[in-house]
Each structure stands twice: as structure tokens, then as C-alpha cells.
Amino acid sequence: MLSLLENNGALRWLGKQLFNREDPAAFFDPLLASIDPMLVRQYVPARVVDIVDETADTRTFVLQPAPRWQGFAAGQHVNICIDIDGVRHNRTFSLSCSPRQWQQHGTVTLTIKRLPGGRVTNWMHDQLTIGTTLGLGEAFGEFLAPELPEPLLFIAGGSGITPVLSLLETLAADDFRAPVTLLYFVRTQADVIGAERLYALRQRWPAFTLTVVATDEGRTPQYLSDSHLDAVPGLSARRCYLCGPQGLMDLAGDLLYHRGIDEHRIHSTFFSAPKAALPDDDLGGDVRFERSNVSVEASGDVALLEIAEAARLSPKYGCRMGICHQCSCRKTSGTVINRVTGKASGPGEESIQLCVSVPQGPVTVDL
Amino acid sequence: MQKMNEAQLKELEQDLDAIRNDVLADLGERDAKYIRKVVRLHRTLEVGGRVLMPFGFIPPVFAAATLALGLSKIIENMEIGHNVMHGQYDWMNDPSLNSQTYEWDTVCTSDSWRRTHNYEHHTYTNIIGKDRDYGYAVLRLSDDVKWHPGHFLQFINYILLTVLFQWGVGVHELESERIRRREISLKSKLPFLRDFFRKGGRQAFKDYVFFPLLTFPVAPIVLAGNIGANLIRNLWSSTVIFCGHFTQDAETFTEEECVGESKGHWYLRQLTGSSNFTGGNWVHLLSGHLSYQIEHHVFPDIPAHRYREMSPRVQAVCEKHGIRYNTDTFARQYWTVLKRIGRFSLPDRVRRRFEAQPA
């Protein structure tokens, strides 16, 4: 019934008048949440229905989103929001299951590796229990399967396998006939994420070739090299998908470029662990003001408000000393240092005061 | 005002910053739980009040429904809206509790409030001529303003202001006194007026048109109850706010004193320009913890329910620096407000003679 307040134009208008908010249905959330957290409207709630160990530091979380969730295409990612110690954290993860699982069982999976020092991933591993709910955003991303069958090469590293698992299972279920090769780089064989699923795919899907490279198991580290690519038949005709740590992505991009593979046929999805903020890191960085479509480079101890003004933007402001919150706005990504407290922010989306926030590395602001 | 040199002010700043940093470092689950509990209480009272109101033809139900709706508005305005808009809960990163997007259940638009209250009043607290909250340009509360015969009637103005408080606050940014003095043009206020009419219309539509019509056969009862609820909120919130800055010993400042002031001086001004009152748990909740107005002015963006536990440390700092910490019972503080309104309605000559007599 509350969805009417969201979807019916007239009722939504009325709801805004009555409850003084842009999302009138969420007015009732505090009451609904105490009946059942799956009833809230502010975000799409998803219940954790199972947690499965993949490797020593990676787990798969099976989620059951509320039915109004819109679904996804293989290879896409989602934002999730989680309240940790009173603070809401937003993070992006790839969905690691095929869309069929959502269509048939109403569940989706996120496969998440612990990041050293990462607040959200560690909390999810240590504190998140079956039965609790978290917020799930709508899926997005362009790391998608080809529309027509053609030979494919996937190069994945570590937990970069997650969207690839989703793509492979979808292709296999569609009985994709063109050759598909996966080069999967892991530290040791024990670090293979989704091992059972990958080996099962190899068993039942003839078009699929799986090569797992354990980089740390030989006498010398084994990184992606020409010899790996030489072993892929008909490489130049393949559409390529890259997902992994920055080093692997750069290396793969270079090698494929030298083999003359058109860059339009190379898909990569952004995957980099948020860098833990260090106090001695240099201040400043590339600042992007999203709504104004302005990017500037800042250096040193200069607050975002001054950076914005120097870029000829005119954000709202008041005291310019961190008291009045007139200049508060959303930071969508990146780390800032609060000049008053000296503390570093998290890397995700959150509200900051422009007048006392100094960028530390690249920052994107909703301004 | 208290004279302190820059070294002393620096020390004051450090002492208060230490309190602030301790609490900031401790913010977390407890604060999130508290504000969510208050929001849940607000929803319960509002939904309960609105559902009961049509049954108000039974007198006790009418009283209960009106009281529930009145309390819901008080809690929403004082403990949720005012505090959320100060950015007290921005650290929670919950879009529903965000200082810049929160819109409260009263005539004044949140944007206007953030400009006139968060910025002007909290930055220029009690500076005569800069803090328009000091007397709301309606009341003469210090001899910095020259007396004229119109001030004889200011007690009537006070009654009108307190009864219609949400409309007074809503129209505050119009700066009608400056328009009358031709310092600014009415035209420059057109964008403000457009927002004022939109929000005022929205509030009036909700309480005085929509809900009465929705329950048509008992519309007069619902209308009366909604008026009553708004009145309860107006009387209470104006009284709480008046007790925060207009008590007998709350100090005022001149612009000259505050030119290029240090953070320490700003702190001193907040400490001496504000006043607290004591009371039970429910008094603190319903006042949005403005019963700790001093702590609120020193730490406007710290979650207000923390003021109570910060208060002993603030008092100790005041004692150390020889600064008066202005607190008393609600009744006594309010009485000094009424006396102040009365006294300054008189010509200075009469008032001084009156003040010379022992009370």
C-alpha cells in the first residue's frame, strides 16, 4: 500500500505535503521497522539468509532482497548500506550469482574478501549474522555479457572473480557455444574463490577452459605474461574481460594492447581496494564536483569550500569554521580530513562540511 | 561582559575543545539508538493523535488526541528537527537525519531556519544589531535599543508572538523592520516570500484543511484539535527559547566587542549569553535539551542528549575561569524573562528607578 505513496503521482505529492519529505513512504519506517525490518521504504531491505565460507578470508553472503528490488544483469554491481556503530556505510560490491538465482529463488549473493583495515568488510565477516537486514541499491555497471556469441577471454585476479562467476554461470546456463577461457590469478590454490562452482562449470560446459595460476606457489612469482596469452587459442578474435587488482589490470591492458586487440573489445570493471588513509599522506588531490561537472586539482591544506570557490562554484556556506553546517553536502567517494578533528573520513558516500574538509587523494562531491 | 585576555581565552578554548573532542570520539551506537527511539516516539504520537482525533466528540479522547499531536509537534520541532538541522546527526550518514535535507513540521522553511538560526543566531549570538533572534525585532530586551512609546505595549506583542510563534519564526527572515527602515527592498525578499507562502500553505493545508476534510462529519472537532496541538507547540517552544537567552543575567554584546574575535571569545560569548533551566527527563526531552542552552551554544553540533552529561564539565570550566554559569529552575528563569519584557517596556528613567528598589 505504501508503494502507492512512491509511485502514484498525486498521492506522492500529497504525501510530500503531509510529511514534509521527498520520500513520504519512509515517514512510517520507524514504526514499520519495529514490526519487521523488511518493511522499510527508505532503501530496499535485504535479509541475510546464509553465509558460506569460500576461502580463509572470503565469504559469500546470500541475501534475500524485498520483492520490489529490480533485479540485475550478470556482471553488474550494487551498493549496499550497513549501519555500523551508528554510522551508515555505503560500499559497492559485485553480485557473484547469476540472475537466474534471483528469478528462481529470490536470492542474490555477494562474495566479499576481508580488506586489511577495511571497516565494512571486516565487520561483515565478524559481526553480520544470518537474519539481519541491510540496504541494497539497484544494480548498475557495464561489465556485461556480449549480446551475440563470440570467443571470450576473462582475466581475473583474487576477489575480482566475483562478477566473472556471475557472467560464466549465466553464459553456461544459456548454453553459450563459442570458446570461453578464464585465466584466474590467485596467491595459492587455497585462495580460489568459488572453486566448486568453477570446477563444476569446467565439468559440464565443454566450451569453457579454466586456467588457475597460483602466483605465489612457484619458486618465483608467476604474474600474467605473454606465455599465458600464447596458450589462449584465437586470442585476437576474443572479446576480453578484466577484473582484479590494479597491477593485474594494467599489465593485462598493456599485453592485450601490444597484441593489437581493439580497446573497444576490452571490458574492465573498476576494482581497487579503498586505500586506508594514512596521517602522513599528502593532502590534496583531484576533486570532482559532480553536479556542476567540474574537476580541479587541489594540493595542500585547502578545504573543499575554498577549492569549490576557486573553481567559480558558489556552494552555500555560513560560519566557515565548522559550526553551522550550512555548507554540509554529500561526498560520494574519496577520503577527506576534517580540519577540526584531524580525523580522516571513510572512503564511501557520506555527509561532510565543506569548510573544514581537506581532500586526501581523489574526492568526488555532490555539488 | 567578562574581560579576559587572549591567553585566558585560548585556555578557555582548549578546555572546551577537550570536552567536545571527548564526546565526538565517543559518538556511536548509543546516540543512533537514542535519536531513532525519539523518532519512533514522534511517529507513534503523530499517528496516534491523528487517528484518535476524529473520535474527539468524546471529550477525554479529544484531550488525549490534541495532547498527543501537540507533543508530537514539540518533539519533532525541538528534539528532532532543530537538532538534526544543526548537523548533530550528520555523522550517522542517514539521509533521513541529514542537516541539509531535513524539513521540519512547522511553518518556517528549513532553509530559512538554517540561515537565520544556525548561521546568524549561533555565530552572532546576542550581538545587538546582528543577532535578530534577540527580541525577534519585536521586543525591546536591553537598553541598547532606544525606547519609544510603542514599547509600552510590548507585553501584548509578546503574547501575540508566543501564540502565533510558528508564523513569527516563519516570517522572521523577511526582516520587516529593515524593510520599514528602507534598508532593504521588499523585492529582494520575493524569493523568501515565495518559499514562506509555499511552506506556510503546506502546513495550514495539512492541519486546517486536509485532515479536517478527510474526516468530514467531525471536521470541526478535528480542526479544533489541530489548532489546539499547534497552539500547545507554539506556547511551549517559544517559552523554552525565551528562557535560553532573555533571562535576567544573559548578557548582550556590541558589534565592536566582537570584531575579529577569536574562537575563545566566541566561546565566552556563548557561555555568558545563554541560560539553562533544570527539570526532569521529560522537560529535557520536550525542550530538545535546550534546557542545556549553554551547552547547546558551546557545542551546537553535538547530539543534544549528550549535554546533560557534558554539563558538569562545562560548569567546572566556568568555575575555573570565573565565568557565571546561568542556571535555575524553569519557573524562576521564566519569571525573569517576563520581568525583563516588562521592565524594558518602560522608559529608561522609570525602569532605573524601578530597578533601584530592592526586589
Give the pLDDT score at B145: 86
CA-to-CA separations, A367 to A91, A295, A315, A351, in angstroms, rounded: 20, 11, 7, 12
Contact A229, A213 (CB under 8 A): no
Q: Where in chain A is the domain with CATH 3.10.20.30?
A: 284-365
Per-residue pLDDT, averaged over B179-207, amounts to 95
Total CB pairs under 8 A between chain A and B? 107
The distance of A60 to chain B (nearest Cα, Å) reads: 26
Which CATH number describes the domain made up of A284-365? 3.10.20.30
The answer to whether residue A278 scores a pLDDT higher than 80 is: no
Contact A86 B118 (CB under 8 A): no
Helices and strands, number each (H, E), in chain A? 10, 16
Summarised one tens digit per residue, pLDDT across range A140-172 is: 888 999 999 999 999 999 999 999 999 999 999
Residues in chain A: 367
**Residue B1 clears pLDDT 80, i.e. is over it:** no
What cell does A356 get? 573544514
**Which backbone phi and psi does A296 adopt, to 5 degrees?**
-140, 160
- Share the mean pLDDT of chain A: 91
Cβ A39 vs Cβ A56: under 8 Å:
no
Decide if B32 and A86 are in contact by the 8 Å CB cutoff: yes
Helices B219-245 and B154-163 pack at an angle, to 10 degrees, of 120
Please tell me the predicted confidence (pLDDT) of residue B259: 87
Q: What is the pLDDT of residues A215-226, one digit of tens each?
A: 998 888 889 999
Which residue would you say has higher pLDDT here, A211 or A247?
A211
Q: Which of A28, A89, A319 sits opposite B119 (nearest CB)?
A: A319
CA-to-CA dists, residue B67 to A358, B53, B291, angstroms: 47, 10, 21
Rounded CA separation B301/B308 (Å): 15
Q: What is the DSSP string of B18-57?
A: HHHHHHHHH-SHHHHHHHHHHHHHHHHHHHHHHHHGGGTT
Q: B1 versus B279: which is more confidently predicted? A: B279
- What is the mean predicted confidence (pLDDT) over A264-291? 72
Question: Residue B2: its pLDDT value, please?
Answer: 63
Say which residue the cell 511551549 belongs to: B236
Task: Answer whether residue B40 is part of any domain.
Answer: yes
Q: Residue B308's domain spans which residues?
A: 6-356
CB A102 within 8 A of CB A72: yes
- pLDDT value of residue A277: 41
Q: What is the pLDDT of residue A70?
A: 95
- From chain A, the residues in CB contact with B36 under 8 A are 30
Q: What percent of chain A has pLDDT over 90?
A: 71
- In the stretch 191-230 of chain B, residues with CB closer than 8 A to chain A read 202, 205-206, 210
Asked whether A356 and A321 are in contact (CB, 8 A), the reply is yes
pLDDT band at A270 (very low <50, low <70, confident <90, very high): low
Phi, psi dihedral angles at B13 (to 5 degrees): -60, -45
Distance from CA of A5 to the nearest CA of B (A): 16
The pLDDT tens digits for B332-341 are 999 999 999 9
Residues B7-38 have pLDDT tens digits of: 999 999 999 999 999 999 999 999 999 999 99
% of chain B at pLDDT higher than 70: 99
Locus of grid cell 527580541: B135
Q: For residue B1, tell me if it sits in a domain.
A: no
Helix or strand holding residue A276 (H, E): none
Cβ contact A17–B93 (<8 Å): no
pLDDT score, position A5: 85
| pLDDT tens digit sequence for A97-142 | 999 999 999 999 999 999 888 889 999 999 999 999 999 999 988 8
CB contact under 8 A, A85 and B96: no
Please, where in chain A does CATH 3.40.50.80 lie? 152-268
Fill in the amino acid letter for B40: R
Question: How many other CB atoms sit within 10 Å of the CB of residue A292?
Answer: 16
Using alpha carbons only, what angle is made at residue A202 by residues A199 and A203, rounded to the nearest 5 degrees? 90
Q: Is the pLDDT of residue A313 over 90?
A: no
Q: Is B36 on the interface with A (CB under 8 A)?
A: yes
Quickly state the pLDDT bin for B93 (edges 50, 70, 90): confident
Distance CA A295, CA A290 (A): 8
Domain A152-268 CATH (choose: 3.90.76.10, 3.40.50.80, 3.40.630.30, 3.40.50.720): 3.40.50.80
Chain B segment 103-122 residues within 8 A of A by beta carbon are 103-105, 114-115, 118-119, 122
Average pLDDT over residues B138-145: 88
Which range in B142-156, B239-253, B309-323 is most confidently predicted, on average pLDDT? B309-323
Residues of B in contact with A40 (CB under 8 A): none
pLDDT score, position B354: 80
- B265-305 pLDDT, tens digit per residue, is 999 999 999 999 999 999 999 999 999 999 999 999 999 99
Distances in whole angstroms, Cα of residue A194 to Cα of each of A54, A189, A344, B352? 6, 12, 35, 86
Q: How many domains does chain B have?
A: 1
Q: How far apart are CA A224 and CA A252, in angstroms?
A: 7
Q: What are A51's strand-pairing partners? A: A61
Report pLDDT for A2: 82
Judged against a pLDDT cut of 70, whether residue B167 lies above it is answered with: yes
Query: For the residues B36-42, what does the mean pLDDT come to?
Result: 98
Average pLDDT of chain B, as a whole number? 94
**Quick one: pLDDT band at residue A20, thresholds 50, 70, 90?**
very high
Q: How confident is the model at residue B144 (pLDDT cuts 50, 70, 90)?
A: confident
Residue A327: pLDDT band (50, 70, 90) is confident
The predicted-structure confidence for B221-247, as pLDDT tens digits, reads as follows 999 999 999 999 999 999 999 999 998
